[in-house]
Amino acid sequence: MARRAHDEHPRQGVLSPDALQQIVMKDWLEYPHPKFLRDILGPVAGHGLLTTIGEDHKQLRKAMTPAFYLKLDGPNRHVLPAGLLEIMKAVIKKEAIPEAGKVFLGKVALDIICDTAFGYKTDCLHNPHNELAAAPEQLLQLQFSPNLAKLVAIPILRIPGTSSLSRSQWMYRHRWFLGKLPIIYNFEKLVDSLYCICAISREMLRSKTADLSVLPNVTTTEKDIMLLLVSARNTDLDADPTAEAMSDTEMVDQVLTFLAAGNDLSWLLANDPESQRRLREEGSRSMSMKLVDESG
């Protein structure tokens, strides 16, 4: 039994830091994520850029490229003042409850992600009960070691079809029985949050599609990423109705991916000044090249 389990889910130990860098960072597309990890991340983070591998990942990146080709000139470029992070940390430390400041920073990050990526106004700071604000927060509260250990140890999310079932209306209506089960009672909150996010995502997708039917000519300035994705899909299908394009389900998955990765990425960047500096340098260099190309 142990041998069969190893054949189905092989493990590999990496001892060299150089090898780890090559596998995780440099050539990560050539080293697929373990299937059990993709099965766990898929329902929560969506079957997007975080979980797809190989040719599927390349095709998804290709489909999403138009949404990220923004003309970031003048008004759209924001350079943060030097030392702003240190000032914010100092202000937070002076508060009676410093942890409360971090909660507000998380709400601001979610506002920025939802507005930029989806054109959706959550206004978490003033409306904490907004559905798209409350659902991701509930998901984040589930990201503790005991809950993650349960997802790894209990193969429920690795059963074929479980990912779709966890976000289905039937599962949402019957989620109460999960709360009655020992060990996995927190799955009730997981199903509740996922259904809420997916329902709002489908409504946003319908809204974007309706907007494009009225105003089909979308420019790449001051538009949210989801609208640009829908516009790019429509353009591809108009040019070739048989072309492979992102489905509605894949579009909804991108919302989960942005919400899952956006908060963590924002936090990691905020605490790594060197990565911020390198990102600004690469971004400035890339934007300068695009502006030169567009000016002829």
Phi-psi domain of 127 (left: phi exceeds 0; alpha: psi -120 through 50; beta: other): beta
Report, as an integer, the average pLDDT of 69-74.
47
Instruction: Encode pLDDT of 130-165 as tens digits.
Output: 887 788 777 777 766 676 666 666 666 667 777 777
- The rounded distance, in Å, linking the Cα atoms of 65 and 231 is 12
Report, as an integer, the average pLDDT of 50-58.
75
Token representation of residue 286: 């890339």
- Quote the longest CA-to-CA distance of the chain: 65
- The rounded distance, in Å, linking the Cα atoms of 49 and 258 is 9
How many other C-beta atoms can be found within 10 angstroms of the C-beta atom of residue 271? 11
pLDDT given for residue 72 in this prediction: 43
- The rounded distance, in Å, linking the Cα atoms of 84 and 282 is 21
* The overall pTM is greater than 0.75: no
What CA–CA distances, in Å, run from 146 to 44, 45, 61, 204, 227?
A: 16, 18, 33, 34, 38
Percent of the chain at pLDDT > 90 equals 0
Instruction: Encode pLDDT of 118-136 as tens digits.
Output: 888 888 878 877 887 788 7
Are 165 and 171 within 8 A, CB to CB? yes
Which is more confidently placed, 201 or 36?
201
Scan for tokens 């949050």, then name that residue: 193
**Exposure b/e, 24-46, CB count within 10 A at least 16 = b:** eeeeeeeeeeeeeebbbbbbbbb
- The rounded distance, in Å, linking the Cα atoms of 175 and 192 is 7
- The rounded distance, in Å, linking the Cα atoms of 147 and 155 is 13
What CA–CA distances, in Å, run from 179 to 47, 60, 143, 171, 189?
A: 26, 36, 17, 12, 8
* 64 contact partners, CB below 8 Å, separation of at least 6: 49, 229, 246, 254
The yes-or-no verdict on residue 246 having pLDDT over 80 is: no
- The rounded distance, in Å, linking the Cα atoms of 58 and 99 is 40
The letter for the amino acid at 91 is V
Report, as an integer, the average pLDDT of 237-256.
78
